[in-house]
Amino acid sequence: MIERLCEELDVPLRERNALYLAAGFAPVHDERPLADLGAMRAAVDTVLQGHEPYPAAAVNHRWELLASNRAMSRFLTAVPASLREPQLNMLRVTLHPDGMGPLVRNYAQWRAHTVRRIRRQIDRTADPDLVELLAEVEGYPVPAGRTEHIAAEQYGDLMVPMVLETEYGTLSLTYVLSVFGAPRDVTLAEIAIETSFPADEMTREVLVALADRDSSKSTASSAAGSL
């Protein structure tokens, strides 16, 4: 009966375990570390690496970073140690005034979008950590000059991107969120892979050029090491 109710109500696996315990049964779904997910960990790495030269990251249900590709790491290099402990949270880093927040040109607009995402997750999971994250994000001040509202029409009336003012120029990114189908492990069920895509041609050219630059440096370094 517990299984049927959980399936029909689409109860998250973590909460299903709690229901089993409350009913006097042992938890049904394991919760393995990411490193112990075998072929599924390999699948995460394949997606991340295969998405180069565009940024991609794997996160848990609290948006804590589990793994990223080189393109995403490039955006995170300047994140201070204070935002990396105890674990880097991608939503916090994106909007925090000491993180990427000052770079987001349409900050108020993107924060509103992020708040909606967190609220939808809270409605589904009632996770107290997400409630705390929501209160924190809503309390961030809007950086000076970052109240611009990006109209969807500027991008073909398809979506509204996150627009970043970076040392490489103005970059516009949108994202696709992917999850595993039919998971039986709690960790796997809570993994989401966010793959970012360029929203305009300039962003695509910059990301490709940065990847080519890093590849050239790596090749030169390898050649020097073999001499």
Do 176 and 187 lie in a common domain? yes
Do 111 and 168 lie in a common domain? yes
Confidence of residue 176 (pLDDT cuts 50, 70, 90): very high
Q: SS3 for 227? A: coil
Do 58 and 84 lie in a common domain? yes
Do 18 and 57 lie in a common domain? no
Confidence of residue 97 (pLDDT cuts 50, 70, 90): very high
Do 143 and 101 lie in a common domain? yes
What's the mean per-residue pLDDT of the chain? Answer: 92
Do 49 and 21 lie in a common domain? no
The answer, yes or no, to whether residue 116 has pLDDT greater than 80, is yes
Mean pLDDT of 170-198: 96
Count of domains for the chain: 2
C-alpha distance from residue 99 to each of 39, 132, 202, 213 (Å): 33, 18, 24, 25
The answer, yes or no, to whether residue 58 has pLDDT greater than 90, is yes
pLDDT tens profile 153-166: 777 777 889 999 99
Do 74 and 159 lie in a common domain? yes
Q: pTM of this prediction?
A: 0.89
User: What confidence score (pLDDT) does residue 152 get?
Assistant: 66
Mean pLDDT of 67-81: 94
Do 39 and 115 lie in a common domain? yes
Do 23 and 48 lie in a common domain? no
Do 22 and 64 lie in a common domain? no
Confidence of residue 145 (pLDDT cuts 50, 70, 90): confident
**Which contacts qualify for 59-62: CB closer than 8 Å, 24 or more apart?**
59/90, 59/191, 59/192, 59/193, 59/194, 60/187, 60/190, 60/191, 60/192, 61/12, 61/121, 61/125, 61/127, 61/130, 61/190, 61/192, 62/89, 62/127, 62/129, 62/130, 62/133
Task: Considering only residues 24 and 158, tell me which one the structure prediction assigns the higher pLDDT.
Answer: 24
Residue 26 belongs to what domain range?
1-30
User: What confidence score (pLDDT) does residue 189 get?
Assistant: 97
